[in-house]
Chain A
Amino acid sequence: MSDAIDDSDPVRVSDDWTSDPDLRPGADACYKCSTCDSACPVAAVDETFPGPKFQGPEQWRLKRKEDVDVDPSVMQCSNCMRCDSACPAGVSLSQMHNTARAAYVDEQLSPFSREYVRDRLLANYGRLARIGSRVPRLTNALMGSSVVSWLNERLLGITSDREFPSFAEQTFRSWFRERGGSQVSSAEKRVAYFHGDYANFNTPEVGKALVRVFERYGYEVAVPEQRCSGTPMFANGMLPDARRAAKFNVETFRDLIEEGYDVVCSCTSCSMALRQEYPELFDFEGTDVVATHTFEALEYLRIHEDVEADLRAADPEAAQYAYHAPCHARNQGLATQATELLGGVEGVEVTDVGDSCSGISGTYGWKAENYETSMQIGEEMFEHMETAPGETGLTECPTCAMQMEHGTGYEVDHPLELLERCLVR
């Protein structure tokens, strides 16, 4: 009955920075029950934050009648996307937030402001990483120095309370090239790996684990040229940057899908971007094809291989892990996957540390003004990690891993690394 009502033009929030997603159905579907507000981790610790219902449907309605500015509080949203999975009416709140945030940056934030420069830098971390990782030891020494960290805080508003993640001596891509690409060729079983920037520059062991595990199952693994998934760009309202990156990625992976590849990711925010944010914000040719062919790595294996049986037969070293499900994994229905599959391995104990948000949300917790909020949100997770057996963390998301490490001092592994220990070595 809902499609009977409206044939008017969707109202444009802003002009040229997106392909103008039609937000009206979402705004109309909201019946203001406020369940999203009750699920928002930022609103829970920061009373000045008006919450997802305001940032999304209410602000959109306000802008329909007159040209009011986007409220600056939209920048306090951490883009965890928990509101999406809370809404009983299926409103895509994160789409509205991404759109409003981009409008705010486009229309109200001066490109010469400290905030803009800082956010642009954080959003485009991959570009800096490309340069920094050429001389990893020098960069690591520099970024680890207290002077640089002090300057970052004073000049840019990047918190000095966190230690920058160090760059690997060899990038994942360089390793993959050096070993001569995929060791398996197959016309039937083919995956294209979207590694993103972090696994390439900072945690190549995650990428290596993915390649080895997929090859063990007989998959040919392609590692095409790619850009950042766009996640930090959406979160910082840098939509033109995200658009450029997304276009490149869609075109690359669309062609591979035509050749019989499916796309697998090791980072759940990357898979989230390709699956949900791209179709919600862009309409390049092939956007939907890429979205429907993209999977998180373990999710993909579980669908196509009997991983459960293989894990039952595995005999790795005994270990205990405190597992945190990233919010973005949760939204893709992956919150219980790691504990279900890896927790079933003989000698391996995986304890879920609960459904709270880690609080870092990508670049959010790196900003000096968000640091305290970020740590307050993370408090519940830290406590649960401390009470869980073992002193190693486990999570799919690189920035959740940073937060887990920062809050507890634990080493943090990726489930793919554990999977590799169970199935390959």
Chain B
Amino acid sequence: MAIEDDVLVVGGGLAGATAALAAARTGVRVRLVSYKKSTLRQASGLVDVLGYAPDGTGPLVDPFEAIDALPSTHPYRLAGTDALGRGLALFDEVAGDAYRGDHTDANALVPTTGGAVKPTARYPATVEPGLASDDRDALLVGFDGTTDFDAPLAAAHLGRAGVPFDVRGATVTFPGVAAADATATRFAQVLDADEGGARAVLADRVRTHLDGERRVGLPAVLGETDPEGVRGALEEALGVAVFEIPTGPPSVPGVRLEALFSAALSAAGVRVETGNPVVDFEGAGDRIDRAFVDRSGSAVPYRADQYVLATGGLVGGGIDSDREGVVEPVFDCHVPHPTDRYDWFEDDAFGDHAFARFGVVVDETMRPLDRRGHPEWANLRAAGAVVGGADAAAEKSASGISLATGYRAGRLAASGVGAGELTRTECGHTR
């Protein structure tokens, strides 16, 4: 026996969650196993589709128009613009009112904590008043002791970047938090609960720095559960627009996005397990028969008709390397790479590194291919950063690739259920 489902998704980030949702909504039984809590918690909460062309051209106005010019091995070319559109539509439905940007295919320009401007396709509603295309003057306000956002520095950088408004920075002490190294989530909890009237006190402290600016930008800590309530209270007290600037991990917009996806997965009947990695599998003929989860030492068999690999790239651990080579450690799919490891990277830190494109090679149905170009397994598909062929960090395309490939892999996995040899006799839905 094993723990049995129609579709098993391995990986709990944006690609895995999208694949699981896309599959579950067709009515099949889906399980998602994630080694750790969802990586959405580490994400900025911005959903980039394509900000720059592979040759560095950009920021691009319309990512959809740029896709045809991408190399034929790029994940967008393989998944197709239709999958990208459907992946984004699924995201829009999950995110609902909490997100903006679905009114247009064009990129928005969002100020970052470093004072750069980033092209992105979807952004939290709390970020909207801060868009760089808005010409209202802005005051950025940071907090004493937080190391990842220096408001005066960010404001100076934004000014240099040529934004069409005047921008200044100021620093205040965040009310009601004693710890010198408090995390963003702690600030957010204080504002959610309005501990000690923190919203009003913060507004008072910000007001002393206002000098005619019509909007105020704060690091993204305006509540984990009630960001619009917190933002509304601050706007009312200050009489100007208030917006968030997305920060690094632990990221409050990332935590909110994780909660949105978690609720959607639960509503779709997806069974989600976290805390343990998939470490091994058994094949039978041209199909994967079962995968093994390492549950604190014991190998527990999971069996499904169809599998989706969404374990992330080099950073997420879905692609691994040592001095000998580069591997995909779960299903041991082929990962092309130069034999000489000195060819994996360039000396220039921001150079065009080969490693940035490392990943499995997929066909148009998202099946990973072996070194001869044949599908590794008939019932295995891959999605997200584990798929190679794109330098997502340079292109600003990671989320869009996850949505496009996740949607396509999930839908195709669902339609493949029962098409091969049936392994599950009955579905047994409990809803």
Contact = CB atoms under 8 A, between A and B. Distances in A.
A399 interface: no
B430 A47 contact: no
Interface string B290-312: 00010111111100000000000
A38 B255 contact: yes
B249 interface: yes
Given A279-B297, A344-B428, A330 B275 contact: yes
A250 B146 CA distance: 47
A299 B300 contact: yes
Interface in A84-99: 84-88, 90
B36 A85 contact: yes
Interface stretch (A162-170, A287-295, A386-394): A287-295
A335 interface: yes
B185 interface: yes
Contacts of B41: 35, 38, 86
B179 A293 contact: no
A85 B42 contact: no
A333 B297 contact: no
B39 interface: yes
A135 interface: no
B37 A35 contact: yes
B183 interface: yes
A11 interface: no
A302 B4 CA distance: 10
Q: Which of A84, A303, A344 has the most CB of B within 10 A?
A: A303
A336 B296 contact: no
A345 to B, nearest CB: 9
Nearest to B2: A303
Contacts of B272: 336
Nearest to A39: B37
Contacts of A37: 183, 185, 250
B250 A34 contact: yes
B297 A294 contact: yes
Interface in A13-69: 33-35, 37-39, 43-44, 47-48, 50-51
B39 A88 contact: yes
A94 to B, nearest CB: 11
Contacts of B293: 333
A232 interface: no
Given A308-B428, A344-B428, A333 B36 contact: no
B177 A47 contact: yes
A331 interface: yes
Contact of B183 (A34, A48, A288, A304): A34
Given A85-B36, A88-B42, A344-B428, A38 B250 contact: yes
A303 B301 contact: yes
Nearest to B255: A38
B276 interface: yes
B415 interface: no
Among A48, A88, A334, find the residue whose CB has the most chain B CB atoms closer than 10 A: A88
A291 B299 CA distance: 11
B69 interface: no
A332 B183 contact: no
Interface in B1-43: 1-4, 33, 35-37, 39, 41-42
Contact of A47 (B1, B179, B300): B179
Contacts of B322: 1, 3
A305 interface: yes
B271 interface: yes
Interface in B263-301: 271-276, 293, 295-301
Given A38-B255, A333-B274, A305 B1 contact: yes
B275 A333 contact: yes
Interface in A243-274: 271-272
A343 interface: yes
A294 B298 contact: yes
A85 B275 contact: yes
A304 B301 CA distance: 10
B267 to A, nearest CB: 14
Interface string A283-318: 000001001111100010011111010001000000
Nearest to B3: A302
Nearest to A82: B37
Contacts of B295: 275, 299, 332-334
A333 B300 contact: yes
Nearest to A295: B298
A275 B300 contact: no
A226 interface: no
A38 B183 contact: yes
Contacts of B35: 90
B372 interface: no
B189 interface: yes
A43 to B, nearest CB: 8
Interface string B154-169: 0000000000000000
A276 interface: yes
A352 to B, nearest CB: 9
Nearest to A49: B179
Contacts of A305: 1
Contact of B296 (A3, A39, A303, A332): A332
A128 interface: no
Contacts of B1: 302-306
A291 B39 CA distance: 28
Contact of A331 (B296, B299, B428): B296
A187 interface: no
B14 to A, nearest CB: 14
A332 B42 CA distance: 23
Nearest to A301: B1
A161 interface: no
A4 interface: yes
Contacts of A1: 321-323
Contacts of B349: none
Contacts of A271: 296
Contact of A336 (B185, B271, B428): B271
Contacts of A304: 1
Contacts of A306: 1
A331 B31 CA distance: 17
Interface in B234-261: 248-250, 255
A340 interface: yes
B178 interface: yes
Contacts of B179: 47-48, 50
A331 B322 CA distance: 28
A348 to B, nearest CB: 11
Given A84-B275, A305-B1, A332-B276, 8 more contacts: A1-B322, A33-B249, A299-B295, A303-B300, A303-B301, A333-B276, A333-B300, A335-B275
Interface of A: 1, 3-4, 33-35, 37-39, 43-44, 47-48, 50-51, 84-88, 90, 271-272, 275-276, 279, 288, 291-295, 299, 302-306, 308, 312, 330-336, 340, 343-344
Query: What 4 pairs across the A-B complex have the smallest Cβ distances?
Result: A275-B296, A291-B297, A38-B185, A85-B275
30 contacts: A38-B41, A38-B186, A47-B178, A48-B178, A51-B183, A85-B36, A85-B274, A86-B36, A87-B36, A88-B316, A272-B296, A275-B295, A275-B297, A291-B297, A292-B297, A293-B298, A295-B298, A303-B3, A303-B300, A308-B4, A308-B428, A331-B275, A331-B296, A332-B275, A333-B274, A335-B273, A335-B274, A340-B271, A340-B430, A344-B430
Interface of B: 1-4, 33, 35-37, 39, 41-42, 177-179, 182-186, 189, 248-250, 255, 271-276, 293, 295-301, 316-317, 321-323, 428, 430
